[in-house]
Amino acid sequence: MDTLTHIVLGACIGEAIAGKQLGKKALVLGALAQNIPDIDFVASFWLPVTGDVVVHRGITHSILFVLLVSPLLALCSARLFRSAGLTFKTWVVFWGLQMFVHIFIDAFNAYGTGWFEPFSHYRVSFNSMYVADPLFSIWPAIAMIMLIVLRRTSNKRMRWVKAGVGLCSLYLVIGVCFKVFVDKTVEKEIADKGIAGNRYFTTPTPLNNLLWYVVAEKDSGYYTGYRSVFDKRKLELHYVSRNDALLRPEAGNKDVDVLRQFSQGYYTADMWHDTLVFNVLRFGEMRGWERDHPQFVFHYFVKQPDNNELIVQRGRFAGWDKAAVLAFLRRMKGV
C-alpha cells in the first residue's frame, strides 16, 4: 500500500496499543513502525532497476524480518520510554503488530510480498485491492485527524480508532468478496471462449475495487479485458502475443531474466519504433478500458537501462485527463 495509508493506519493502531501510556507520541511511533518494512527503498540508490523491483517487498516484508526486528526495537523502546511504564512484551506487540499489518495488507495488491524470504522467493499476492485506494485509506485518516484534535484524556479516542480500523477492514473484506464474484464470472466466461484450463488472474484497476483488469493465458500470448462488478454484458477480450522471438537475441541478458521471474510468466515483448520493450502484464494497461491495443503500465526499455526510472509508477496514470477520468467512471458503473 502507499505510504500515507501505512501512516494513518499505523497511527490508529499505535493509539490502540499504547495511547494511554504514551499519549500522542503513540501516533507518531505507530506511523513510524508501520512504515519500517519499506526501508528497502534505500536499496534503490545502489541497485539497478531490475534488482530494485525484486528486492522491494522482499526480505524486509518477510515474517522472519518481523520476528527478528520486533524484539530489537522493543528493547530500545523500553529504554528510551522507560517512564511510560510499558513492558517489554507490550513493546514487542507494538512493533511486531505494526510491521505484520504492513506486510499483510501489502499482499492484497498486485506487486506481491515476500512473506517467506529468504527460504522461498514466492511472492504472496491476493490481487484484491489496488496499491492506493482512497476508500480504504480515508477511514483511518479521519480517525487519525480526530486523535490529533481530541485531548489525551478523551473517552472518544478509542471509538475513533475502532471506527477507522473497523471500516477499512470492512472495505478489505468487501474487496475480497468482489474478487471472488469477479473470478467466478471470469472463469465461466473464459471457458465459454475456449480458454478454460489456462492460467488467468484478475486485479482491481486504479483507486477502486469495482472495475477489474483480466488477463488469461492462451498458447503464446494472452487475452486481456475488463469486468465491472455491475457488468451485464459478456466479457470482451483482446489478444496480445507474447512475442518471444523479439527476446531471443537477448538470451543471457540478466535484466530480461530477472524481469521474466518478476512477471511470474505474464509478460510480452514489443517494439516501440526501434526500441525493444519488455512489458509486465500484472500491473495493468494504460487506459485499457477505452482502448483496443493499449500500452502496458510496466514497460522496461531493454537497450536503455538508464531510462527506466520509476518503472512501476510512470505508466499508472499516463494520459489521464478529464475525458479519461469520466470514461473510467462510466466503465466502473458497468455495461
Taking residues 80-90, report their average pLDDT: 93
Q: Closest Cα to residue 277, out of 254, 239, 250?
A: 250
For residue 293, with 0-12 CB atoms within 10 Å meaning exposed, 13-18 middle and 19 or more buried, which class applies?
exposed
∠ CA 106-112-116, rounded to 5°: 90
Taking residues 199-220, report their average pLDDT: 94
Q: Which residues 6+ apart lie within 8 Å of 206 measured at CB?
A: 130, 132, 284, 316, 317, 328
Q: Is the pLDDT of residue 310 over 90?
A: no
Give residue 322's pLDDT: 93
Model confidence, pTM = 0.94
Q: What does each C-alpha distance from 50 to 112, 119, 270 come to in angstroms?
A: 15, 21, 18
Between residues 330 and 198, the one the model is more confident about = 330
**What does the alpha-carbon distance between residue 21 and residue 23 come to, in Å, rounded to a whole number?**
6
Q: Which three cell numbers stand for residue 189?
A: 466466461
Q: Which three cell numbers stand for residue 223?
A: 487475452
Task: Provide the 10 A C-beta neighbour count for residue 278.
Answer: 26
Q: Give 142-186 pLDDT, tens digit per residue.
A: 999 999 999 999 999 999 999 999 999 999 999 999 999 999 999
Taking residues 46-60, report their average pLDDT: 90
**What does the alpha-carbon distance between residue 86 and residue 76 come to, in Å, rounded to a whole number?**
12
**What does the alpha-carbon distance between residue 84 and residue 74 come to, in Å, rounded to a whole number?**
13
Task: Provide the 10 A C-beta neighbour count for residue 173.
Answer: 10
What's the one-letter identity of residue 76?
Answer: C
Q: Indicate the domain borders of the chain.
A: 3-173, 193-332
What DSSP designation does 129 have?
Answer: S
Q: Which three cell numbers stand for residue 211?
A: 472495475
**What does the alpha-carbon distance between residue 221 and residue 115 come to, in Å, rounded to a whole number?**
30
Q: Is the pLDDT of residue 292 over 80?
A: no
Give residue 187's pLDDT: 93
In the chain, the percentage of residues whose pLDDT exceeds 90 is: 80
Q: Which residues 6+ apart lie within 8 Å of 250 measured at CB?
A: 256, 276, 302
Give residue 302's pLDDT: 92
Q: Which three cell numbers stand for residue 152?
A: 489525551
Q: Closest Cα to residue 48, out of 318, 316, 311, 313?
A: 311
Task: List strand residue ranges (DSSP E) for the chain, in order.
Answer: 200-204, 211-218, 221-228, 237-241, 267-272, 275-285, 296-301
Out of 2-6, 137-141, 172-176, 233-237, least confident range: 233-237
Q: Is the pLDDT of residue 299 over 90?
A: yes
Pairing of strands 275-285, 221-228: unpaired
Taking residues 264-278, report their average pLDDT: 93
CA 184 to the chain's CA centroid: 22
Give start and end residues of each alpha helix (H) in 56-133.
Answer: 63-80, 88-106
**What does the alpha-carbon distance between residue 282 and residue 299 come to, in Å, rounded to a whole number?**
11
**What does the alpha-carbon distance between residue 163 and residue 139 come to, in Å, rounded to a whole number?**
7
**What does the alpha-carbon distance between residue 215 and residue 112 come to, in Å, rounded to a whole number?**
17
Q: Decide if 208 contacts 131 (C-beta within 8 A).
A: no
Between residues 224 and 312, the one the model is more confident about = 224
Q: Is the pLDDT of residue 306 over 90?
A: no
Q: Decide if 125 contacts 107 (C-beta within 8 A).
A: yes
Q: Give 107-145 pLDDT, tens digit per residue.
A: 999 999 999 999 999 999 999 999 999 999 999 999 999
Region of 221 (left: φ > 0; alpha: ψ -120 to 50; beta: rest) is: beta
